[in-house]
Structure 1
């Protein structure tokens, strides 16, 4: 089974864009909450600075302890210079150099009061950083959820502005996947990456500044691995991005196949195609598995690669830092703080690498959502619309041409008039353009040239709402939504009174079978109209059209899939419905349109004949051939008489 195709048979395609523009577009969406973003950035900056100062202050506490320990080892009653000189004389030059660079008092041990005050400062710094981080995360959650809510609303509004052509060429399951799965995935990706990404970038900058403050040499050693980390991340990200796009594209196609299989479940079973459906599902599921596995595996290589480079960096800093402590160039507390900074410097780089799979997955989903938002919309309603002075239902086609594909003509130079209150029947072989004709009346598609007038006004000069409020449709495929029978009828006019709804039900012969149901009009139907037959569903749709009170009525072969008795009820209901209305009836059963005021015969987008039933039979043309072909026997004819056997 394949996804739905449009009139031109072209499947929907997903067009991928580059990473950068999509990120910028997401950033612009987030910046609509400018005040929140400024507060988030400020809280994050201050929190990162506090976190960055904490190891430096903790290093000072280490120096206080170490200096006290060393001071207690030195003899009391001498100055530091005297103690250093004595150590040199004893041949302990390295120890003497270290003591000379330390803030010690010979004979004085650890000042635990100073150490305690310093640790309280460290605690205050960490608590302050945590509180600010919580505030930033809380506000960011508001921003992300609000942005997704707005994006979801934009997509919903966009769907109402898209032309019917878009839905004809886009698989329904894939479209639903974009509106649901991709939006949810984007929401999760933004929530899990933005705060961490912002914090990681600022942390790298703050820690780098502290590292240069402590030791430019060690800072340069730490930076040596950064270019390698960037190159590794860029190469891995470049290889993983196509797989993330394939993952979400495969998700949409799989959803489309599942939606088709379950919507047509009875048909699948009737033709014994369960095995084929399962085989196709397994193939698409396997393709989704492959793309998902490759995307996650390749992007997951970023974190271990950066951790490996960070460990090499850690070893180099520990060795060089130890030598500097031994030589007296740095204090032990400074080296301890630097090592802590080096781990913190590597950690955000590792986090950024780990977030790349989430970020790329989110951007891939964002691109699929942007495909909807960037799709061409239907032509806007006129700024100053016109409204017909009368509401009679006169329809005129004046030299109308239309084609789905530019190089494949369908309707060419069609001219037709439908007088108020008349019934116009449209017949012809499949693909002749019958349904297209009524789609043009409703402006589901716009004509390429020519004019369609409604009560003397060009339909393009009217708003779509004004045009469609004058029009009612009863289609071959009856559409009912999940709700009660009463609610489905009342859908035609939500402002209608209970009495008007009941009147519409009686005129359409709905009332007689609804009262036989246990719950009557409160019977709940599902989206497929379960609980009532196909003919009863059709009668409900006719009742809905009754309630709408249109002046123009379109009936698209509403009796093709029902039994004879129900067909008679539907025909009676449609006869009632057509009273005093201009009606366009698409029919294949020509026996149902004998009383039409005008019968239009179409072939290849052209009107080849038009007239009454008797006139067209007498003309012995295309209509006569269609009419006779519906009877079961061979045709014997002479120039004057036509005899149909078997009918």
Structure 2
């Protein structure tokens, strides 16, 4: 994900905020009723906040007059009634303000949480649409951090910073209008402090934003390292890598801490700078305001209102400093989210793509070229034809493009040039999902999810009945051992199926492929790493799975190709037929026995 130039204006103060809001706009529109209600409650809350000091003003002016102060104010006819009304007024205003504040908080928080819940789902779904090339070049832990941590931080900032900031800004504007009406000269004195706040705020906020981006990047690297090491614990412990892993984690952890402390220091500096400016403004206003009272231009009550507003108005400024730091951090998270959402999938359905018909399994590769990086081709004009129901072994050295070849069938990738045809249809003219539904894959590492065995099999064809799931398990030779488990098909396997043996995982994967009932089957090193007895069981299950289906057996071992109709070797980006596999099997068996005799 490439960097971009820093924006100007508000975008310079809070980098990425506008970009994030632009991405969220469609979701925000869906919550416009809640947002409008929250806005109305916000205005009511601000109005009550503006009214709060006025009962005190009326009482103070009345008491001063009653005490005989020589000020140009009207003496109230009934001071006791005024005191009672003012006291009741204070209570009513505070209660109304509390109610409005509650409604505002609930409405905005509900709208914000709904928006960001949808954004999290959108990011998660978008990651599933991105190509294998994207995921191969990304770190899983960092992507997980974006889906969970970054969206969570944005969600938290919306409730704890953005909404209070909005309320404070509206309050600040309202108070400035009122104090300007009360005494324009004194209001201008207050406004002299604002440029100082703006200069210091923008400078520090820019630095907070930069540090926050670094902190989120460091946290992503930390999550990636933790994910990699914890998911590879067997290798870590087998090679005694605990200390190197801990040292690497400690380094990333320290970098994250350093960035976090720096961000906190900058945020604290911004808040304390604001406190100093508030103190300066209060002292100036108190001095000038007292002179205005003595001159008769202001009443004592109006000066109290002025000072109350000043304190209340500068509290939002101090809070703005605090909230701006949070929003700057959230904006850094928002940019990471937007980076994902604006990454375009390499594979998309063409505008004229149509659902695929049920295939017979006739497969043709015509002049196929494929590169993972410019100037590094994997396939160079490859041609290959496979008839329906034919079983073809694809062999070749590691990195020759065997798996890349068959990945084109299920449209995990599209060729740079040439065509891949299924029953005469260019797969790019068909919808991606409809092509993938007719290709079943069994991999070397059978990936199972941390859910029940029933669900793991049913992923082959969502919506399958219980009877169909059990039938697929029987075909794969898995029904027997599954029923011996304490909870049978309801048994929850560990992460990636870690609670099952390799052979058991492989048979569950075969059952999943069998349930798919696809005309094309891909076996990608499906027998690698299995012991002799387990391999025999899996071979039998694979034989039942592939009967009558077009099958590609990806392997580096010619012995694994003995039951195939043909053997095709992929090398230097091209395919050439090695032999009729079944005819060559006796010769390979004799060769193997000869090697065993020499070894003995």
TM-score by length of 1: 0.86
Task: Report Cα offsets for 1:595-643 as digits up to 9, x if no partner.
Answer: 321211111321244432477899x9xxx9xx9799858xxxxxxxxxx
Pairing partner for 1:423 from 375, 391, 394: 391
**Counterpart for residue 319 of structure 2:** 351
8 A contact 1:261–1:268 mirrored in 2: yes
Call closer, same or farther: CA 1:54–1:536 in 2, change over 3 Å. closer
Whether 2:325 is the aligned partner of 1:372: answer: no
8 A contact 2:356–2:431 mirrored in 1: no
* SS, match of residue 580 in structure 1: coil
Shift of 1:384: 4.2
**Counterpart for residue 599 of structure 2:** 646
8 A contact 1:16–1:245 mirrored in 2: no
**Counterpart for residue 639 of structure 1:** none
Cα separation, 1, equivalents of 2:280 and 2:484 = 82
Shift of 1:391: 2.8
Per mean C-alpha deviation after superposition, the further-off stretch among 114-123 and 412-421 is 114-123
Pairing partner for 2:166 from 172, 179, 198: 198
Shift of 1:146: 1.3
Cα separation, 2, equivalents of 1:508 and 1:244 = 52
Whether 2:65 is the aligned partner of 1:67: answer: yes
**Counterpart for residue 37 of structure 1:** 35
* SS, match of residue 524 in structure 1: coil
* SS, match of residue 21 in structure 1: helix
* SS, match of residue 240 in structure 1: helix
Shift of 1:393: 0.5
**Counterpart for residue 90 of structure 1:** none
* SS, match of residue 568 in structure 1: helix
State the Cα RMSD in Å.
Answer: 2.6
Whether 2:195 is the aligned partner of 1:227: answer: yes
Cα separation, 2, equivalents of 1:469 and 1:330 = 81
Call closer, same or farther: CA 1:575–1:131 in 2, change over 3 Å. same
Call closer, same or farther: CA 1:440–1:221 in 2, change over 3 Å. same
Cα separation, 2, equivalents of 1:234 and 1:173 = 33
Cα separation, 2, equivalents of 1:53 and 1:520 = 69
* SS, match of residue 377 in structure 1: coil
TM-score by length of 2: 0.92
8 A contact 1:388–1:455 mirrored in 2: no
Cα separation, 1, equivalents of 2:467 and 2:55 = 82
Pairing partner for 2:290 from 322, 326, 330: 322
Q: Give 1:231-246 correspondences, 5 Å limit.
A: 231-246=199-214
**Counterpart for residue 417 of structure 2:** 449
Shift of 1:222: 1.1
Shift of 1:520: 3.5
Q: Give 1:506-585 correspondences, 5 Å limit.
A: 506-585=474-553
8 A contact 1:14–1:368 mirrored in 2: no
* SS, match of residue 301 in structure 1: helix
Call closer, same or farther: CA 1:501–1:122 in 2, change over 3 Å. closer
Task: Report Cα offsets for 1:143-162 as digits up to 9, x if no partner.
Answer: 11111122122213312322
Task: Report Cα offsets for 1:118-149 as digits up to 9, x if no partner.
Answer: 33334333332332222211211121111112
Cα separation, 2, equivalents of 1:177 and 1:527 = 19
Structure 1: state its 5+ residue gaps: 1-11, 72-98, 634-643
**Counterpart for residue 50 of structure 1:** 48
8 A contact 1:490–1:501 mirrored in 2: yes
Shift of 1:530: 3.0
**Counterpart for residue 153 of structure 1:** 121
Q: Give 1:142-181 correspondences, 5 Å limit.
A: 142-181=110-149
Q: Give 1:212-361 correspondences, 5 Å limit.
A: 212-361=180-329
Per mean C-alpha deviation after superposition, the further-off stretch among 136-145 and 326-335 is 326-335
Call closer, same or farther: CA 1:631–1:505 in 2, change over 3 Å. farther
Pairing partner for 1:101 from 56, 59, 72: 72
8 A contact 2:212–2:260 mirrored in 1: yes
8 A contact 1:431–1:604 mirrored in 2: no
Structure 2: state its 5+ residue gaps: 8-14
Task: Report Cα offsets for 1:66-96 as digits up to 9, x if no partner.
Answer: 111116xxxxxxxxxxxxxxxxxxxxxxxxx
8 A contact 1:15–1:371 mirrored in 2: no
Task: Report Cα offsets for 1:353-412 as digits up to 9, x if no partner.
Answer: 110111011111111111111011243324444466663101000111110112211101
Task: Report Cα offsets for 1:474-516 as digits up to 9, x if no partner.
Answer: 0001011123333323332344444443333233222343344
Structure possessing the higher radius of gyration over alpha carbons: 1
Task: Report Cα offsets for 1:563-593 as digits up to 9, x if no partner.
Answer: 0111111112112222101000001221121
Call closer, same or farther: CA 1:187–1:497 in 2, change over 3 Å. closer
**Counterpart for residue 377 of structure 2:** 409
Per mean C-alpha deviation after superposition, the further-off stretch among 219-228 and 276-285 is 219-228
Cα separation, 2, equivalents of 1:211 and 1:386 = 67
**Counterpart for residue 490 of structure 1:** 458
Shift of 1:15: 6.6
* SS, match of residue 365 in structure 2: strand
**Counterpart for residue 12 of structure 2:** none
Whether 2:19 is the aligned partner of 1:22: answer: yes
Cα separation, 2, equivalents of 1:519 and 1:32 = 44
Q: Give 1:84-95 correspondences, 5 Å limit.
A: none
Shift of 1:38: 2.7
Cα separation, 1, equivalents of 2:486 and 2:24 = 56
* SS, match of residue 413 in structure 1: strand
Call closer, same or farther: CA 1:571–1:69 in 2, change over 3 Å. same
**Counterpart for residue 391 of structure 1:** 359
Shift of 1:16: 8.3
Call closer, same or farther: CA 1:223–1:553 in 2, change over 3 Å. same
Call closer, same or farther: CA 1:394–1:319 in 2, change over 3 Å. same
* SS, match of residue 415 in structure 2: coil
8 A contact 1:65–1:115 mirrored in 2: no
Cα separation, 2, equivalents of 1:513 and 1:420 = 33
